């Protein structure tokens, strides 16, 4: 199994999208990329910890290529936005890929470059690409939040 970690705004909808993919064995929502150890949702919402809301995806690389996860990531949010998605704003909602290996780093950079060459988005891609750091699991009520509420996507 491998891990992949993505931040694309509010983690509820991003998690729901990844959970639908065959080859994804589990997901967890949480926080990554900041200075504060063991942050809470309330801490992260202050926009002062440096953490992004992220989804940690565990997947079987024999059944699912990392590139397919990237395709989903690019399609479920607007990667041209800086520190916001929809009505949500702050650094915790930034677009970011936290890579777990040199291969993931190469693949995400290549994917981003290809999308920019194709001009898939009207504005430049603002997504950060950084080394994975400590993942802090979000509170239980955030895990699979949309499924628990009987929703397929976030109502924005």
Pair of tokens at residue 148: 């628990």
- Owner of token pair 């190469």: 106
Pair of tokens at residue 62: 């024999």
- Owner of token pair 């440096």: 50
Closest CA to 73 of 87, 89, 56: 56
Q: Rounded to the nearest 5 degrees, what angle is found at the Cα of 20, between the Cα atoms of 115 and 135?
A: 75
- Dist CA 63 CA 84 (whole Å): 33
CB 5 within 8 A of CB 56: yes
Burial class (CB in 10 A: 0-12, 13-18, 19+), 149: exposed
Pair of tokens at residue 30: 């949480």
Q: Which of 10, 45, 137, 154 is catalytic?
A: 10
Angle between helices 102-118 and 66-75 (to 10 degrees): 50
Assess whether 10 carries a catalytic annotation.
Answer: yes
Catalytic site positions: 10
């Amino acid at each position: 199994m491998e891990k992949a970690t993505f931040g694309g705004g509010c983690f509820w909808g991003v998690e729901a999208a990844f959970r639908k993919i065959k080859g994804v064995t589990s997901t967890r929502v949480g926080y990554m990329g900041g200075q504060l150890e063991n942050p809470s949702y309330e801490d992260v919402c202050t926009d002062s910890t440096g953490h992004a809301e992220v989804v940690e995806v565990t997947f079987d690389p024999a059944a699912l290529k990392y590139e397919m996860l990237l395709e989903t990531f690019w399609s479920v949010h607007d990667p041209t936005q800086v520190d916001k998605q929809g009505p949500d704003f702050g650094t915790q909602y930034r677009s970011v890929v936290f890579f777990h290996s040199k291969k993931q780093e190469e693949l995400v950079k290549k994917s981003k470059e290809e999308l920019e060459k194709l001009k898939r988005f009207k504005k430049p891609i603002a997504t950060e690409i950084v080394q994975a750091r400590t993942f802090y699991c979000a509170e239980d009520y955030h895990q699979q939040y949309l499924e628990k509420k009987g929703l397929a996507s976030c109502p924005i």
